[in-house]
Structure 1
């Protein structure tokens, strides 16, 4: 060492002989350093002057010791040398560049040992006994390889690591076992057959040694022959096994039982694979089972059992069906198609059964609720099933033109009447929401509107609406669904009723100022109906009693005084009255129609009147008069007696006041025949809808032609379809075009009959 301060370095060398026989030089250095406070310090370390040298026989003697130790490990006998001594010997050989020979010698020794051991597999043993022997040999080989690697660890971590082409000692042991044991055909074949036999026994329900199966499959995986030797054969055997089982079980079991069996099989295979096999096998294994048990029989299972599962509402089985089909290609699509076909069949059956019209809407609502629950619970709210269910209902509901729309309107009317005590307001609102779901499927919404408007008018005029809030809620739902144009007339009806109440309050003040009206004991209430809002009613002239006529005329003068220029028409068919009546058994209040009132008031003048007399006095038409007399003399509350007795009213019949009439109630409602809907009224309503549709078609055609000036028939029809909200046939458009041409709204091109021109 040199430095500014000056120093003295004494060095001496000596040779030390280790007990392994390796000579090495030991250098001792002593240093004395004198320094001044202002000078830096430097230290220099020098290498050995000479490398350690091995004795001439060291390599041979050391290998003899190592070979003896390896042989002892192979024989599972005592090793005479300490592991530390053997480890040091390997380290010395590697540090003196003898690792290559050492690696080669070690490989030869291990290979010779394995070749000597192969004879144990030549014995004529098969099945599980052979597998146990193979497992034992493998475990012994692994333990021996681990022990040998511990001794030769330096060789593994230096020489082998530096030579990438050489396998590590562990990999060397695997290669030797694979090349000398499992490369033999009879060993490979018996190993494979034994493993597959264990799997078959496992699938048959027998108790098998899973530990043996797991260890041997782990061996194949370590030897990197798992996929080539076992997996492809295993999957092929699995495919054949479940192909056979599927063909047998699908006929033996009910569909729900087959689904449970399949689910159980898939879980068993998953458990077996996770426990004993490589993770990479799980996916193809489950796919194989699903392919053979589900995919091959999808159509058969759907056709055989889906309808039964839906009809019986077997939720867990339907959920299982969906889950299993979700795992195969196009499985849920097949399920959705079959589900949709089932819904179409059931819903169409309900709609087309004309004998069950009374329960059609309720049956459709119950079916829709049930199927919605299945889709949400069992089919995981899958969008395919939601849309499929909607398409199926839409197709089914419109198979019978117009009738479902009419019946839905009637169903709403039943629920909205005050006599319906079955549900609370909250339940009624939920029912209306369900009805709206059904309403969306209807193509002919104008038919619904016509019948709904007619029924709403009856509820409002007779005061039989269950709840004004419910009525407005339904109106709001319709407006949200179809727009303001659809509900404008319905909203106008409510406005008329509100304005009528205000008007009647003003009229009563006006009436109180009229001196000639003070002695009249009859009260009157009038509803003013705007003609465009309300259904069309046929005017019927009748002869009113003097007092009633006087009240009517008084109101007419009052109204026209307030609204000059308007026309006021009284609709006698919509009138109703409350009559105070005296019978031998007590006084009663009769709630009757205007026609019934006119007839009953005649009996203040006498007890018996002929049919002809009643007709002449009231001026009622025969059809209406006969139906009204039937309600009074042939119904449940018979305040008149028909002479002779019978259900039908003839021109020669007579009617007598029934003074002995009895009833437990004080106020008695006698069915208002004219408020009951008849077949003729239904036909008339439907015809008005068709007439309105013709007007809408005409308007759409003229509107389109006015904008385009000239169009082909095809383009005109296409635009008209887009504008109209109800179903229409091509022939209907053609008829309306011809009608418009006749009325000079448009004309046909002279050269091209399929081209039309607008006539300004």
Structure 2
């Protein structure tokens, strides 16, 4: 409306129509003068005036309808015929161009008809101009042409798969239109493109796989390897070239489709040949060949059974090592059994190293093979040897490393490397609680007998165990080491104390280790009535200790003590390195040349089982410092003992060993007792919180709570502990439902 004149619809639309025709010509490439600001304002003002005239001259609805009609005419008369006349790449290019032009048209027309969007459409609840414009394209162009577009796009993809040079940008633009046309919904992309694309992909790769298998010009094993190589290459190329064209949601579907069409139909045929080839290479240790075949292989459906075979082979080798050692022990002497155990642990380390190299070099550290190796070693390491657990073998192996002399002239680096490998093997043992108790006893013997010449390596072992299994696993071991450090400080203080009191005469050199009971393993210690030469310095130390620590009670443990005596024999004097028990017996012969078994027993008051063992070491073993009457290999209560002045040895200093005491049963008993306490504590914690719980749930919660600890309690043991707690009135069964357990506060 210019001034007060009313614009008739036909006149106004004629002005708008000229602008629309000009825009269409520009999009079609027909020579046309560009739009000017005056052109834009003329059309915009005309539409504005026609929509703001008073009724019956308000033409908003008619203009809204004409907007849709004009776009529809252009699409039906110009765009659709152009597309229908083209095929292949030409169709795709024109489709991309037409879609781009249409977005330009809708954007321009939305500006020209903006008054409708701002006022009329909102009040009437009608679709906005963008929705109308793109809806026209979807109805008049996309729906009739989507089949042809899809086929042309899939054909282009297959040409790309066959190695032909294609327009990658064109392909991506076409696929993007399937996504854009649906707006926020992926329905058009999924239903009109993805479904057919995946179907065609399946047909394409099924045909490819069939041609690979039907190649009869090569041996079966070559066909198998060639098949897998080609399949993996196809998957790789699909990821690198095809996946970037499609939406990310199609990635897993596409790879799964390829997997289903390539591998599944031929899985059994390929697997049979794959496993036979792998086993042959593994048996012959052909690492380079295995690496060549498997290093980059990612076919999970074939790798899983190969990893299973890898696990079985490793488990069989480990089991064979254990069986060979078991068989050899039956023919070995007591002296050589320890050597067999050392060799076994060395072989287990080498076996683990070899299979770790397989995993790293041949399988690129693939998790399937790492898990397979873990499962294999857990299988046979938990089995162990009869009467000797794997944990004991590792403890004895470490003991041999840490004692003076070790296992040979190993460098510090080699010792630390070996320690690290032992800790790796310990991780496979389910019963690590038994290992740590045996290790605690072994460490105690080394520390107290001063056999650990490599303190830094002991500490390195503790740090590795702590890092792998947690601070609680090594807390007592670390406490033992700290105890010895504090004990050395106290020994230095005691030495200064004696130096500052010249009137105090010990009569001998005394070194005392003061230990904290909670850290150290329970050590059997018999009462011993010491000779005066040994008793006097101990009383002096007790007085010193009480002056320093009034709140700690001192108890003497003689079973780990050592003494050095000088024996005056006819030929020469010899330094004798003895246990406290041995030294106490020999000191009795300073006052008598001949003593009976009963005399010694009465004076020392040592338990007979220990007395027999000590007398046997002094009179029946390699070093006969005492003569036994009668001269027999066993010690009896009727025996008489005499000092042997003619004893001699080529050494001027010698250690007289005691017969080995089997403490294995005691360690196991102590571990079992500690585990009962741990299970009891877990059950009480659970019931204190839950108050009432089903019996099976209580067992399950206890098992879960103790998972990941140093041992795995079996269900039978947990049930026995529940019954014991009921007997001791910590828990009770519900009178009406025996399956319910109640906490007794």
The C-alpha deviation readout for 1:257-283, integer Å capped at 9, x for no partner, is: x67x9769999999xxxxxxxxxxxxx
Distance 1:613 1:298, change over 3 A: same
Instruction: Choose which of 745, 750, 755 in structure 1 pairs with 2:730.
Output: 745
Q: Could you say if the C-alpha distance between residues 267 and 686 of structure 1 is closer, same or farther in structure 2, counting changes exceeding 3 Å?
A: closer
Query: What corresponds to 1:394 in structure 2?
Result: 378
1:330 paired to 2:301: yes
Q: 1:269 to 1:464 in 2, by over 3 A?
A: closer
Output one character per residue of 1:443-476: Cα deviation in whole Å (capped at 9) or x when no partner.
2221111111111111111111131111111111
Q: 1:238 to 1:436 in 2, by over 3 A?
A: closer
For 1:103-118, list aligned pairs within 5 A. Answer: none
Q: String of CA shifts for 1:665-716, please: whole Å, max 9, x gaps.
A: 322112144xx4x33x100100100000000000001111112222222322
- Report the aligned-residue RMSD: 4.0
The answer to whether the aligner puts 1:666 opposite 2:690 as a matched pair is no
Shift of 1:502: 1.6
By how many angstroms is 1:315 displaced? 1.0
Pairs within 5 Å for 1:311-390: 311-322=283-294, 326=297, 330-351=301-322, 354-355=326-327, 358=341, 359-390=343-374
Distance in 2 (alpha carbons) for counterparts of 1:626 and 1:500: 32
Contact 1:507–1:558 (CA under 8 A) maintained in structure 2: yes
Q: Which residue of 1 aligns with 2:252?
A: none
State the match for 1:424 in structure 2. 411
Partner secondary structure for residue 590 of structure 1 = strand
Deviation string, structure 1 residues 538-567 (Cα, Å, up to 9, x no partner) = 231122111211111111122122222432
Specify the alignment match of 1:502 in structure 2.
489
CA contact (8 A) 1:608 1:654 kept: yes
Deviation at 1:621, TM superposition (A): 2.3
**Match in the other structure for 1:455:** 442
Please say if 1:439 is aligned against 2:410: no
Structure 2 residue aligned with 1:657:
643
Any unmatched runs of 5+ in structure 2? 1-84, 88-204, 233-259, 330-339
CA distance in 2: counterparts of 1:308 and 1:574, whole angstroms:
55
Q: For residues 703 and 236 of structure 1, what CA distance do their matches in structure 2 show?
A: 63
Do the aligned residues in 2 keep the contact of 1:350 with 1:360 (CA within 8 Å)?
Answer: yes
| DSSP 3-state at the match of 1:572 | coil
| 8 Å CA contact retained: 2:595, 2:640 | yes
Partner of 1:242: 216
Of the three residues 698, 704, 708, the one matched with 2:690 is 708
Cα gap change, 1:342 to 1:548, in 2 (>3 Å)? same
Q: 1:616 to 1:164 in 2, by over 3 A?
A: closer
Structure 2 counterpart SS, 1:330: helix
Once residues 234 and 433 of structure 1 are traced to their aligned partners in structure 2, the CA distance between those partners, rounded to angstroms, is 50
CA–CA distance in 2 between the matches of 1:243 and 1:629?
84
SS in 1 for 2:394: helix
With normalisation by structure 2, the TM-score equals 0.61
1:711-752: CA deviation from partner (whole Å, max 9, x where unpaired): 222322222112222111111111111111122212222222
| Contact kept in structure 1, 2:430 and 2:712, CA below 8 Å | yes
Match of 2:677 among 683, 689, 695: 695
Change (3 A) 1:307 1:367: farther
Matched, 1:561 2:547: yes
Any conservation in 1 of the 2:295–2:364 contact (CA below 8 Å)?
no
- Map 1:151-300 to 2 at 5 A: 239-240=213-214, 242=216, 245-246=219-220, 296=269, 298-299=271-272
2:739 to 754, 757, 760: 754
- How far apart in 1 are the matches of 2:634 and 2:265? 73
Aligned to 1:655, the other structure's residue is in SS state strand
Deviation at 1:349, TM superposition (A): 4.2
Alpha-carbon distance change, 667 to 293 in structure 1, aligned in 2, over 3 angstroms: farther
SS at match of 2:574: strand
Is the 8 Å Cα contact of residues 243 and 293 (structure 1) preserved in structure 2? no
In structure 2, what is the Cα distance between the partners aligned to 1:612 and 1:573? 21
1:601 aligns with 2:587: yes
Given that 1:642 and 1:653 are in contact with CA atoms closer than 8 Å, whether structure 2 keeps it comes out as: yes
Q: 1:498 to 1:751 in 2, by over 3 A?
A: same
Partners of 1:730 and 1:527 lie apart in 2 by 42
Change (3 A) 1:340 1:581: same
3-state SS, counterpart of residue 638 of structure 1: coil
Asked if structure 2 preserves the Cα contact closer than 8 Å seen for 1:242 and 1:289, the reply is no
- Does the aligned pair in 2 maintain the 1:588–1:666 contact within 8 Å? yes
> CA 1:350 to 1:701, structure 2 compared with 1: closer, same or farther past 3 Å?
farther
Q: In 2 relative to 1, CA 368–580 (structure 1 residues): closer, same or farther, beyond 3 Å?
A: same
2: CA distance, partners of 1:704 / 1:321: 53
Instruction: Say which SS state the counterpart of residue 592 (structure 1) adopts.
Output: strand
TM-score w.r.t. the length of structure 1 is 0.60
- Listed one character per residue, the Cα deviations across residues 620-654 of structure 1 (whole Å, up to 9, x for unaligned) are 22222222222223333333333444432233333
Name 2:479's counterpart in structure 1: 492
2:280 & 2:210 partners in 1: Cα distance?
Answer: 35
What are the superposed Cα offsets for residues 391-420 of structure 1, whole Å, 9 maximum, x if unpaired? 222233224598122222222222111221
Pick from 528, 533, 536 the counterpart of residue 514 of structure 2.
Answer: 528
Structure 1 Cα separation of the partners of residues 265 and 680 of structure 2: 61
Q: What is the aligned partner in structure 1 of residue 144 from structure 2?
A: none
Structure 2 equivalent of residue 613 of structure 1:
599
Task: Return the match for 2:457 from 461, 466, 470.
Answer: 470
Q: Which runs of 5+ in 1 are unaligned?
A: 1-162, 166-230, 247-257, 271-286
In 2, Cα distance between the equivalents of 1:431 and 1:576?
A: 31
Tell me what 1:129 maps to.
none
The equivalent of 1:25 in structure 2 is none
- Displacement after TM superposition at 1:301 (Å): 5.5
Contact 1:611 1:655 in 2 (8 A): yes
Note the C-alpha offset of 1:237.
Answer: 8.0
CA distance in 1, matches of 2:497, 2:298: 80
> How much has 1:573 moved relative to structure 2?
0.9
Q: Structure 1 residues 661, 758: CA separation in 2 closer, same or farther (over 3 Å shift)? A: same
**Match in the other structure for 1:586:** 572
1:82-128 per-position Cα deviation (integer Å, ceiling 9, x unaligned):
xxxxxxxxxxxxxxxxxxxxxxxxxxxxxxxxxxxxxxxxxxxxxxx
For residue 722 of structure 1, the aligned residue among 695, 700, 704 is 704
Partner in structure 2 of residue 170 of structure 1: none
Measure the CA separation in 2 of the matches of 1:393 and 1:605. Answer: 60
- SS of equivalent to 1:446: helix
**Which secondary structure state, in structure 2, belongs to the residue aligned with residue 591 of structure 1?**
strand
- Range that drifts further, 362-371 or 326-335: 326-335
Post-superposition shift, 1:317?
Answer: 3.1
Change (3 A) 1:753 1:235: closer
Q: In 2, Cα distance between the equivalents of 1:455 and 1:237?
A: 66
- Cα contact 1:700–1:720 (8 A) shared by 2: yes
Q: 1:351 to 1:691 in 2, by over 3 A?
A: farther
Counterpart of 1:639 in structure 2 is: 625
- 1:609–1:751 CA distance, 2 compared to 1 (3 A): same
